[in-house]
A = this chain, B = another copy of it.
Amino acid sequence: MMATTAKNAKRTAARAQRRQQLIDATVKCIARKGLGSTTTADVARQAGLSQGIVNLHFKSKDNLLSETLRYLADEYKTQFNLAVENSGPAASDRLRALMELDLRPSICDRDKIAVWFAFWGEVKSRPRYREICEKSDEYYDEVTRRLCDEIIAAGEYPGVSGIAVATVLTSLTNGLWLACLVNASSFDREQAMGCIDEYLNCIFPKHFPVRVL
């Protein structure tokens, strides 16, 4: 008979580890060669494993790609939640921590951004990708909106819409990522953060006073 506890735990752990190894390899390949030119053989080679490994663990390439996107979304969500939790209790501190997160070197990195855009580029024709992205976006928008509403209530900002500000902030960071991807040479993280601060100061002056350099 099988000792389903210790035994299986180890087995499934090893299995999960290998899946992660393949997902990591996939991310690297997409960053380097693009989604369109990434083959299962590339992924296997990058992972230091053999041909058939992708289909063994993910059933199909399609599935591997979906799972990779799902992983990226989860990974970002974790960072996102961490950023909120680890920052000061004030809503304004939390909001700024989120903005800082998006421009942090480990996230606002050309390789990483290239992978996000690779998936976004296929969103229209791949319902699965869209579902994953949409679900994530809803969450971020909701959290950001709540923070904005809190600030608006506390600061008595008349005529400012929390939804609108949240939409501006998330769209703005996505747009800045594109600038980082396309205009790599002229893009400057500092300057990008400056844009965001200028906006925050403008919309919530009481909470985001001009930063003296």
Asked whether, in the complex, the Cβ of A164 is within 8 Å of the Cβ of B32, the reply is no
Pick the contact of A124 from B114, B159, B171 — CB < 8 Å? Answer: B114
Output the least CB separation between A39 and chain B (Å).
12
Interface residues of A in 137-194 (CB under 8 A from B): 137-138, 159-161, 163-165, 167-168, 170-176, 178-179, 181-183, 186, 191-192, 194
Q: How far is the CA of A183 from the CA of B174 in the complex (A)?
A: 14
Contacting residues, chain B, for A122 (C-beta < 8 A) = 34-36, 118, 121
Please report A residues at the B interface, Cβ cutoff 8 Å.
31-37, 110-111, 113-114, 117-126, 130, 133-134, 137-138, 159-161, 163-165, 167-168, 170-176, 178-179, 181-183, 186, 191-192, 194-195, 198-199, 202-203, 210
Given contacts A167-B179, A171-B175, A202-B202, 7 further A-B contacts (CB under 8 A): A34-B125, A114-B123, A117-B121, A117-B124, A123-B182, A159-B210, A171-B172
